[in-house]
Amino acid sequence: MSEITLRIAEASQRHVGKGIAVVDPKIVEDNNWETGNILELVGNRKSHTKLWPGSAEQYGTGIIKIDGTTRQNIGSGIGEKISVKKVDAQQAKQVTVSPIEKLSAEGLQEYMQANYIGHVLTIGDTLIVTTQLGGKTQLVITSAAPSGKPVVVTEETEFKLGSMTKVVDNSVPRITYDDLGASKMRYKRYAK
Protein backbone atom coordinates (compact mmCIF):
# COMPACT_ATOMS: atom_id res chain seq x y z
CA MET A 1 0.00 0.00 0.00
CA SER A 2 1.27 3.44 -0.89
CA GLU A 3 2.85 5.72 1.69
CA ILE A 4 1.82 9.38 1.87
CA THR A 5 3.71 12.25 3.52
CA LEU A 6 1.54 14.62 5.57
CA ARG A 7 2.26 17.58 7.86
CA ILE A 8 1.08 17.40 11.48
CA ALA A 9 -1.40 19.95 12.82
CA GLU A 10 -3.09 20.18 16.21
CA ALA A 11 -6.29 18.17 16.63
CA SER A 12 -9.42 20.05 17.61
CA GLN A 13 -10.44 19.55 21.23
CA ARG A 14 -13.42 17.38 20.24
CA HIS A 15 -11.04 14.84 18.64
CA VAL A 16 -8.57 14.63 21.54
CA GLY A 17 -8.38 11.16 23.10
CA LYS A 18 -10.56 9.53 20.43
CA GLY A 19 -7.74 7.55 18.78
CA ILE A 20 -8.32 9.15 15.39
CA ALA A 21 -6.31 11.07 12.82
CA VAL A 22 -8.19 13.74 10.88
CA VAL A 23 -6.78 13.62 7.35
CA ASP A 24 -6.96 16.00 4.39
CA PRO A 25 -10.10 14.78 2.53
CA LYS A 26 -8.29 15.05 -0.84
CA ILE A 27 -5.77 12.44 0.39
CA VAL A 28 -8.67 10.25 1.61
CA GLU A 29 -10.38 10.59 -1.78
CA ASP A 30 -7.23 10.03 -3.88
CA ASN A 31 -6.36 6.82 -1.98
CA ASN A 32 -9.93 5.45 -1.74
CA TRP A 33 -9.64 5.40 2.04
CA GLU A 34 -12.74 5.21 4.22
CA THR A 35 -13.67 6.46 7.66
CA GLY A 36 -12.42 3.99 10.26
CA ASN A 37 -9.55 2.58 8.16
CA ILE A 38 -6.44 1.84 10.21
CA LEU A 39 -3.55 4.19 9.49
CA GLU A 40 0.09 3.60 10.32
CA LEU A 41 1.80 6.87 11.30
CA VAL A 42 5.59 6.97 11.20
CA GLY A 43 7.60 9.86 12.59
CA ASN A 44 10.56 9.06 14.83
CA ARG A 45 8.50 6.06 16.01
CA LYS A 46 5.50 4.14 14.67
CA SER A 47 1.91 4.13 15.96
CA HIS A 48 -1.58 3.54 14.58
CA THR A 49 -4.91 5.38 14.59
CA LYS A 50 -8.26 5.26 12.87
CA LEU A 51 -8.96 7.54 9.92
CA TRP A 52 -11.41 10.41 10.10
CA PRO A 53 -11.74 12.55 6.94
CA GLY A 54 -11.14 16.27 7.48
CA SER A 55 -13.54 19.10 6.70
CA ALA A 56 -13.85 20.90 3.36
CA GLU A 57 -11.54 23.66 4.68
CA GLN A 58 -8.79 21.05 5.07
CA TYR A 59 -9.12 19.89 1.42
CA GLY A 60 -5.78 19.90 -0.41
CA THR A 61 -3.73 21.07 2.59
CA GLY A 62 -1.70 17.88 3.06
CA ILE A 63 -2.44 18.05 6.79
CA ILE A 64 -3.08 15.34 9.36
CA LYS A 65 -4.55 16.49 12.68
CA ILE A 66 -3.55 14.34 15.66
CA ASP A 67 -3.69 14.86 19.41
CA GLY A 68 -0.77 15.24 21.81
CA THR A 69 -0.74 11.61 22.92
CA THR A 70 -0.50 10.41 19.31
CA ARG A 71 2.24 12.95 18.58
CA GLN A 72 4.09 11.66 21.65
CA ASN A 73 3.68 8.06 20.50
CA ILE A 74 5.21 8.80 17.09
CA GLY A 75 7.85 11.12 18.51
CA SER A 76 6.88 14.03 16.26
CA GLY A 77 5.46 17.49 16.76
CA ILE A 78 3.19 20.04 15.13
CA GLY A 79 4.51 21.18 11.75
CA GLU A 80 6.65 18.07 11.19
CA LYS A 81 6.10 15.71 8.27
CA ILE A 82 5.28 12.04 8.82
CA SER A 83 4.63 9.00 6.63
CA VAL A 84 1.10 7.65 6.60
CA LYS A 85 -0.31 4.49 5.04
CA LYS A 86 -3.38 2.30 5.38
CA VAL A 87 -2.74 -1.05 7.11
CA ASP A 88 -4.69 -3.98 8.50
CA ALA A 89 -5.25 -4.63 12.19
CA GLN A 90 -6.51 -7.55 14.24
CA GLN A 91 -9.02 -7.71 17.07
CA ALA A 92 -7.18 -7.63 20.38
CA LYS A 93 -7.63 -10.76 22.47
CA GLN A 94 -5.33 -9.63 25.29
CA VAL A 95 -3.38 -6.44 26.00
CA THR A 96 -0.83 -5.91 28.78
CA VAL A 97 -0.33 -2.35 29.99
CA SER A 98 2.48 -1.36 32.34
CA PRO A 99 2.26 1.71 34.58
CA ILE A 100 5.10 4.21 35.05
CA GLU A 101 4.18 4.51 38.73
CA LYS A 102 2.55 2.22 41.29
CA LEU A 103 -1.01 1.49 40.24
CA SER A 104 -3.67 -0.98 41.35
CA ALA A 105 -5.18 -3.40 38.84
CA GLU A 106 -8.57 -2.92 40.49
CA GLY A 107 -11.02 -1.55 37.93
CA LEU A 108 -8.49 -1.73 35.07
CA GLN A 109 -10.65 -3.96 32.84
CA GLU A 110 -13.72 -1.77 33.28
CA TYR A 111 -11.79 1.47 32.78
CA MET A 112 -10.08 0.26 29.60
CA GLN A 113 -13.33 -1.13 28.20
CA ALA A 114 -15.17 2.13 28.93
CA ASN A 115 -12.48 4.34 27.42
CA TYR A 116 -10.70 2.38 24.68
CA ILE A 117 -13.21 0.19 22.79
CA GLY A 118 -12.57 0.76 19.09
CA HIS A 119 -9.11 2.25 19.66
CA VAL A 120 -6.11 0.91 17.78
CA LEU A 121 -3.16 0.00 20.03
CA THR A 122 0.49 -0.51 19.16
CA ILE A 123 3.14 -2.09 21.40
CA GLY A 124 5.20 0.76 22.85
CA ASP A 125 2.35 3.28 22.75
CA THR A 126 1.62 5.34 25.83
CA LEU A 127 -1.94 5.94 27.03
CA ILE A 128 -2.91 8.77 29.38
CA VAL A 129 -5.36 7.50 32.01
CA THR A 130 -7.23 9.12 34.87
CA THR A 131 -6.54 7.66 38.33
CA GLN A 132 -9.17 7.03 41.01
CA LEU A 133 -8.20 10.31 42.69
CA GLY A 134 -8.68 12.28 39.46
CA GLY A 135 -4.99 12.61 38.58
CA LYS A 136 -3.41 11.49 35.32
CA THR A 137 -0.77 8.84 34.73
CA GLN A 138 0.61 6.87 31.81
CA LEU A 139 0.28 3.24 30.84
CA VAL A 140 2.61 1.72 28.25
CA ILE A 141 1.36 -1.05 25.93
CA THR A 142 3.94 -3.77 26.61
CA SER A 143 2.33 -6.73 24.82
CA ALA A 144 -0.70 -7.62 22.75
CA ALA A 145 -2.20 -10.80 21.37
CA PRO A 146 -2.32 -11.52 18.57
CA SER A 147 1.08 -10.03 17.86
CA GLY A 148 2.63 -8.76 14.64
CA LYS A 149 -0.03 -6.19 13.71
CA PRO A 150 -1.74 -3.32 15.47
CA VAL A 151 -4.75 -4.44 17.51
CA VAL A 152 -8.22 -2.97 17.92
CA VAL A 153 -9.87 -3.08 21.36
CA THR A 154 -13.22 -4.91 21.42
CA GLU A 155 -15.67 -5.88 24.16
CA GLU A 156 -13.86 -9.24 24.38
CA THR A 157 -10.37 -7.77 24.87
CA GLU A 158 -8.80 -8.78 28.18
CA PHE A 159 -6.51 -6.25 29.85
CA LYS A 160 -3.70 -7.19 32.23
CA LEU A 161 -1.54 -4.93 34.37
CA GLY A 162 2.17 -5.57 33.83
CA SER A 163 5.02 -4.58 36.11
CA MET A 164 6.12 -0.95 36.39
CA THR A 165 8.15 0.33 33.47
CA LYS A 166 10.43 3.23 32.65
CA VAL A 167 9.93 2.94 28.87
CA VAL A 168 8.38 6.40 28.62
CA ASP A 169 10.33 9.02 26.66
CA ASN A 170 11.23 11.66 29.24
CA SER A 171 11.94 14.28 26.56
CA VAL A 172 8.22 14.85 26.14
CA PRO A 173 5.83 16.03 28.85
CA ARG A 174 3.92 13.36 30.79
CA ILE A 175 0.73 15.32 30.26
CA THR A 176 0.19 17.16 26.99
CA TYR A 177 -1.62 20.45 26.47
CA ASP A 178 -4.47 18.48 24.85
CA ASP A 179 -4.92 16.40 28.01
CA LEU A 180 -5.64 19.51 30.05
CA GLY A 181 -8.75 20.13 27.98
CA ALA A 182 -7.62 23.64 27.09
CA SER A 183 -8.60 25.43 23.93
CA LYS A 184 -6.61 27.95 21.92
CA MET A 185 -8.98 30.75 22.94
CA ARG A 186 -8.58 30.00 26.63
CA TYR A 187 -4.81 29.90 26.21
CA LYS A 188 -4.76 33.19 24.30
CA ARG A 189 -6.96 34.87 26.91
CA TYR A 190 -4.58 33.99 29.76
CA ALA A 191 -1.37 34.39 27.78
CA LYS A 192 -1.88 38.15 27.38
End residue of a domain, out of 34, 57, 87: 87
Question: What is the CATH classification number for the domain harbouring 146?
Answer: 3.10.330.10
End residue of a domain, out of 87, 102, 132: 87
4 or 105, greater pLDDT: 4
Within-domain flag for 171: no
pLDDT of the residue at 1: 56
In order, the DSSP letters of the chain are: ---EEEEEEEPPGGGTTS-EEEE-HHHHHHTT--TT-EEEEESSSEEEEEEEE--GGGTTS-EEEE-HHHHHHHT--TT-EEEEEEE--EE-SEEEEEESS----TTHHHHHHHHHTT-EE-TT-EEEEE-TTS-EEEEEEEEEES-SS-EE--TT-EEEE------S-TTS-SS-TGGGT--HHHHHHHH-
Instruction: Convert the pLDDT of each residue in 150-162 to its tens digit.
Output: 999 999 999 998 8
pLDDT of the residue at 172: 43
Asked whether residue 40 falls in the same domain as residue 77, the answer is yes
pLDDT of the residue at 2: 78
For residues 66 and 87, what is the distance between their CA atoms, to the nearest angstrom?
Answer: 18
pLDDT of the residue at 175: 46
Within-domain flag for 78: yes
Instruction: Convert the pLDDT of each residue in 74-123 to its tens digit.
Output: 999 999 999 999 999 999 999 999 988 877 777 788 888 888 999 999 99
Q: Which domain holds residue 107?
A: 90-161
Q: Whose CA is closest to 67, among 47, 86, 37, 97?
A: 47
pTM above 0.85, yes or no: no
Instruction: Convert the pLDDT of each residue in 54-88 to its tens digit.
Output: 999 999 999 999 999 999 999 999 999 999 999 99
For the chain, the average pLDDT equals 85
Instruction: Convert the pLDDT of each residue in 15-45 to its tens digit.
Output: 988 899 999 999 999 999 999 999 999 999 9
pLDDT at 178 over 70: no
